[in-house]
Chain A
Amino acid sequence: MTKAHVTTSVNGDPYEFLCEPGETLLTVLRDDLQLTGTKEGCGSGDCGACSVMLNGRLVCSCLVLGVEAEGADVQTVEGIGNKDSLHVIQEKFLEHAALQCGICTPGLIVSVKALLEENPNPTEEEARYYLAGNLCRCTGYDKIIRAVLDAAQTMKEESAI
């Protein structure tokens, strides 16, 4: 099987990789590019742990082929905040204890960022619907939703300054 050569951009950095044409973007990110922040929960589009932005759109990276990243702009959780300065969403997840085992968290952070970019002022219901594709086995969602609404509020206040 001939491998495909793909040139892409991940979190603003140029990347080149070789992959099997049937390999998913999730596998490429984790196994080839060593960007293991993106998680695999189900591999079938049901859990959202693998959420990334592809050309500005929230998608499950387990439902994208690596070869489809050719010429694309990919954003993963690694591009959101860093060790020394967390993104507001990440801070609020910590503050509200919106994670336990943490496997769902990177996907949620990516999705929440997408939500707040589309809708900076979501109601609880809107947030719950938007995030319905991010499953969490631990928290019962309540703390996640509190963190999201608090992050929205804080981001609004910060942008008002």
Chain B
Amino acid sequence: MVSVVYEAPNSIDEAVRLLKESEIPARVLAGGTDLIIQNNSTEDQSRLIVDVKKIDGMLEAKFSKDGLELGPSMCCAELTARGDIKQIFPGLVEAAYLIGSTQVQGRASIGGNLCNASPAADTIPSLIANKAVCIISGSDGERNIAVEDFVTGVGTNCLRVGELVKLIKVPMPSERSSDAYLRFIPRTEMDIAVAGAAVSLALDDDDVCVSARVAIGAVAPTALLVESAAACLIGTKLDVVALKNAARAASESSSPISDRRGTAEYRRHIVGVLVKRAAKIAMQRAQGEKV
């Protein structure tokens, strides 16, 4: 087991300083559901663990007039119990609800899911579909990065030494809009996505889709924003042809691998099906139905 130096700073500045000045590899601890397991298998001799949960705002979520300001370390159990968030971002909440077990959701956080950067992370496609932005703090101040640009590869992200995600902002959707996330797993619970798809869209008063974002997960090294799939939905009433085109666009932009969860061919197909279904659910929700 790696030998750990543990710090739990009270401020972002202190966390940034600790991360920046550390002479040993440093990692941020949020819920720990990935990190603590990695501690047991790391090659590092020693590690600095910076627990950010004592920093103001890290465990909170609130709405401002611009949208949701999500503390990156808030645990999924707390998030999924928040009716106000579920009402506006049902897809994001359903993605959080799919992570691990009740126990894991008692610790796992959206910020952790994002920074851990697994290709199969459930919340990343939902964040992308909802145009979420990471507010990153470092010694040179703050910078903002769209979630689709945050993850750079399998298990890697764009954070530089000494930086951490301070806040995740999700802009307020317009009237008559909603989102949905679906993933496929061979079991009913406690599994990792074979493929996942998130759709967020807005309708006009005639039910014509006026804007849409489609993101897919577990079918490429990182979750992908698929603009070509969204383009197939915009300007339509999500008729059979539009949905079929969106599905094809999503399948075509995927580049999955074959592993024990499914073959590349299967994943490419299934991700299109998920896009189709998630788009329909998002549309029904935007129309005010409870689905």
Give A contacts to B, CB under 8 Å.
1, 4, 20-22, 24, 43-46, 48, 51, 54, 57-60, 62-65, 67-68, 70, 111, 114-115, 129-134
The docked-state distance in angstroms from the alpha carbon of A22 to that of B39 is: 8
B106–A1 touching, CB < 8 Å? no
Of the candidates B5, B32, B188, B190, which one forms a contact with A64 in the assembled complex, judged by CB atoms under 8 Å apart? B32
A21 to chain B, nearest CB (A): 4
Q: Count of chain B residues with Cβ under 8 Å from any Cβ of A? A: 32
**B183 vs chain A, min Cβ distance (A):** 15
Cα separation A57 to B59 with both chains bound (whole Å):
14
Q: Min CB distance, A54 to chain B, in Å?
A: 7
| Interface residue ranges, B against A (CB under 8 Å) | 1-6, 8, 29, 31-33, 36-37, 39-40, 47, 49, 51, 53, 75, 77-78, 100-104, 106-107, 188-190
Contacts A24-B36, A44-B37: A60 and B107 contacting too (C-beta < 8 A)?
Answer: yes
Knowing A132-B102, A133-B190, say if A59 contacts B3 (CB, 8 Å): no
Question: Could you say which of A4, A133, A134 has the most chain B C-beta atoms within 10 Å of its C-beta?
Answer: A133
Nearest CB to that of A24 among chain B residues? Answer: B36
How long is the Cα–Cα vector from A24 to B87 in the complex, in angstroms?
36
Contact residues in B for A68 (Cβ distance below 8 Å)? 32, 51, 53
Contact of B49 among A21, A43, A131, A134 (CB under 8 A): A21
Q: Check A132 against B39 for contact (C-beta < 8 Å).
A: no
Say yes or no: A45-B33 contact (C-beta < 8 A), given A63-B107, A130-B102, A133-B190: yes
List residues of chain A with CB within 8 A of the CB of B39: 22
Contact present for B106 and A54 (CB under 8 Å): yes
